[in-house]
Structure 1
Amino acid sequence: MVEIGRHEHRVYEPPRPECAGWQNGVVESSADPAPVAFSGSRLGWRDLPRAVRARIAELAGAEVIAETSATSGFSPGFAAVLELGNGHEIFVKAVSAEQNPVSPELARREITVATALPPEVPAPALLWSDDDGTWVLLGFEAVHGRSPEQPWRAPDVARVLAALGDLAAARPVDPHGLQPIAVALADDFRGWRTISAAAHSTQVDETGRRGERGAWVLEHVDDLAAWESAWPEAALGTALVHGDLRADNVLLDGDRTWLVDWPHATIGAPWLDLAFMLPSVEMQGGGDADALFWAQPVSAGLDPAALRAVLAALAGYFAHSSLQPSPLGIPNLRRFQGAQAEVTLDWIRRLPA
C-alpha cells in the first residue's frame, strides 16, 4: 500500500511562469517517458522517533523485527510492511507535518473512510490507529502482491478494469462521513477557469513555441473552462468513489485485486473512478483511454458531454496543479500531474463534438 497522488497536497500557490511543462495553461510537448509515481524519499523504521516506534510496537502487540518499505506512491512519510516477533505482519503508515503539512490530515481522513468501506470492497482492513496530535499512525492488514507492470500488460488492464466495474456497484456503509465529490473537489476542479483568467490577462502570444497540443489549448481555453463548469452535475451519484486510482494504488495478489489508499474517497457517479484512472493507464502504455472507457459496462448510456465535463475538470486540475511549486518532500508530483494533464487533454480531443 502506498499513499497520495492526484488530490493530495491541495495547497494553492500562484502559478510560476517559469515552471516547465505548463505555462499560462499551455502544455509543452515532451518525448520523455512516463514519470514514476514515487516521491523519491520515504522514512525508514530507524528514522521514526523512538517513542513512535515504541507506540507502533505496542499497538501491533509485538516487537518489530524487520521492515519492507513501500516502493511506490508519493508520500514522504513512513509506509512499510512490518514483520513482528510473534510471526505476524502488519502494514503501517506513520506521518507527521514535518515530512509534509497535509499528510496528517489525509491520514486522519483515511481513518474516517475505513469505517465507510463495505465488506465487498477489496481494501485491506484498518486494524488500529493512533493520533497524538503530531504523529498519525495507521495499522492495516498486510496484503501482498505486485503493482501492474509498466508498460501495462493486457491481462493486468483487464483485471483492474474488472475490479473497477465491481467497485462501481459499491455503496458506502451508513452512516458515513463521505462528502459528495462535487463538494470535496469544488476548489480543486476549477483549474481552467483560473488558467483562462490568467491567460487573458497576460495576452499569451507564444502559441508557435508550444506545439500542436498547446495551440489547441489556447484556442479552446474558454471551451475548457465552460465544460469544466458543468462537471458537478455530471458527477452526481451515490456510488463509492475511490478518487485516486492508478497503478501504484493497485496490488495484484494471485486472483485478488486490491485497491489501496482511500483518503480521497467520496460519493458520486459510478463511472468516475474509471474516467479518473484511464489517463494514467494510457500514459503508462495500457491502451487508448477512450476505447477502454466505452468498452466497460458502467459507461453504457452515458452522455459524452458528461464525460467531457469531468475530463475537462480533471485536466484543469492536473494542468493548474503542475504549475505550482513542488510540495515538501514530493519533488516528482508536479511532473506526474503535468503528464496526466497531457493525456487527459488528448482524450478530450478524441471525444465526439
Structure 2
Amino acid sequence: MITWQELPQQVRAAVQRNVGPIASATPVTGGQNNDFAAILHRDQDSTEHPRTLFCKGVKGVSLRMRWLRNEITAGKLAAGIAPDVVFAADVGDWLVVGFEHVCGRPADLTPGSVDLPLVATTVDKIAALPATGLRPLRNRWSGGNWWAKTAAEYPDQGSISRP
C-alpha cells in the first residue's frame, strides 16, 4: 500500500481541490482492496468539509475499482447508516474517494457477542431502504457467461466458479 506522499501529484491535487489543503495523513493498513488508504487531516476547519476524513483509492480499471465504485453507491443509498461520501474523483487511471471519518472497530460476530443486536438492527435498517436505480443482479449478470468472462479478465483473482 502506498502513502499519501507516494500518490501521484495529480491525485493529491484532486483530493485537495475537493476538500482543501491536507496537513497530514495517517496510513490505514487494515484493508486489502486498495492501493491507498489513509485518514487525512485537513489543516483548517471548514463548514463545508470535515477536518478529518477517510480516503482510499485504487489504480487501474479492475474488480477493485468496481468495488470502490459500489461503495460510493452504497454510501449514497444508505445515507445516515454508512459514512457519507465527501467526494469521488477519477484522476487518470486512479479512482480516489473521501468518506466521512468514523472511529470504530470491526463488529464481533461470534455467537453471544454484544455486537450482534446492533448488527441485526443495522441490517434491518438497510433492508428497509429503497434501492432506487439499482438493477437486480439477475439483470446485471445476464447476457452471457459472466463468471467465465470475469475469470478470463482477472486470472490472478483465484478460482472463480458459479455458485
TM-score tier, shorter chain, comes to 0.7 to 0.9
Following TM superposition, by how much is the alpha carbon of 1:49 offset from its aligned partner in structure 2, in angstroms? 1.3
Q: Which has the larger radius of gyration?
A: 1
Following TM superposition, by how much is the alpha carbon of 1:325 offset from its aligned partner in structure 2, in angstroms? 4.6
Following TM superposition, by how much is the alpha carbon of 1:146 offset from its aligned partner in structure 2, in angstroms? 0.4
**Residue identity matched to 1:103:** R
What is the match of residue 157 of structure 1? 116
Residues of 2 paired with 1:50 and 1:106: CA distance? Answer: 24
- Higher helix fraction: Structure 1 or Structure 2? 1
Please list the CA deviations of residues 308-331 of structure 1 after superposition, one character each: whole Å capped at 9, or x if unmatched: xxxxxxxxxxxxx8xx8533xxxx
1:184 matched to 2:140? The reply is: yes
Alignment of 1:202-281 (within 5 A): none
Give yes or no for contact 2:10–2:91 (8 Å, CA) kept in 1.
no
Give yes or no for contact 2:78–2:126 (8 Å, CA) kept in 1.
no
Alignment of 1:1-353 (within 5 A): 42-72=1-31, 74-86=32-44, 88-97=51-60, 101-115=62-76, 117=77, 119-120=79-80, 122-149=81-108, 151=110, 154-172=113-131, 174=132, 176=133, 178-186=134-142, 325-327=155-157, 334=158
Following TM superposition, by how much is the alpha carbon of 1:144 offset from its aligned partner in structure 2, in angstroms? 1.2
Give yes or no for contact 1:70–1:81 (8 Å, CA) kept in 2.
no
Give yes or no for contact 1:43–1:76 (8 Å, CA) kept in 2.
no
Equivalences, count: 155
Residues of 1 paired with 2:146 and 2:69: CA distance? Answer: 26
Following TM superposition, by how much is the alpha carbon of 1:67 offset from its aligned partner in structure 2, in angstroms? 1.5
Please list the CA deviations of residues 71-116 of structure 1 after superposition, one character each: whole Å capped at 9, or x if unmatched: 13x303212221221261011122111xx6333344344444544x
**Residue identity matched to 1:94:** G
- Higher strand fraction: Structure 1 or Structure 2? 2
Give yes or no for contact 2:29–2:37 (8 Å, CA) kept in 1.
yes
Shift in CA distance, 52/152, structure 1 to aligned 2, threshold 3 Å: farther
Following TM superposition, by how much is the alpha carbon of 1:133 offset from its aligned partner in structure 2, in angstroms? 3.8
Following TM superposition, by how much is the alpha carbon of 1:141 offset from its aligned partner in structure 2, in angstroms? 1.0
Shift in CA distance, 113/119, structure 1 to aligned 2, threshold 3 Å: closer
Structure 2: which 5+ residue stretches go unaligned?
A: 46-50
Structure 1: which 5+ residue stretches go unaligned?
A: 1-41, 195-320, 328-333, 339-343, 345-353
Residues of 2 paired with 1:92 and 1:147: CA distance? Answer: 18
Residues of 2 paired with 1:187 and 1:162: CA distance? Answer: 36
TM-score by length of 2: 0.72
Following TM superposition, by how much is the alpha carbon of 1:124 offset from its aligned partner in structure 2, in angstroms? 0.9
Q: Secondary structure, in 3 states, of the residue corresponding to 1:155? A: coil
**Residue identity matched to 1:166:** K
TM-score by length of 1: 0.37
Give yes or no for contact 1:128–1:138 (8 Å, CA) kept in 2.
yes
Please list the CA deviations of residues 206-226 of structure 1 after superposition, one character each: whole Å capped at 9, or x if unmatched: xxxxxxxxxxxxxxxxxxxxx
Residues of 2 paired with 1:81 and 1:190: CA distance? Answer: 36
Following TM superposition, by how much is the alpha carbon of 1:153 offset from its aligned partner in structure 2, in angstroms? 5.1
Following TM superposition, by how much is the alpha carbon of 1:69 offset from its aligned partner in structure 2, in angstroms? 0.8
Give yes or no for contact 2:34–2:56 (8 Å, CA) kept in 1.
no
Residues of 2 paired with 1:326 and 1:152: CA distance? Answer: 34
Name the structure, 1 or 2, with higher relative contact order (CA <8 Å, separation 6+): 1
**Residue identity matched to 2:125:** D
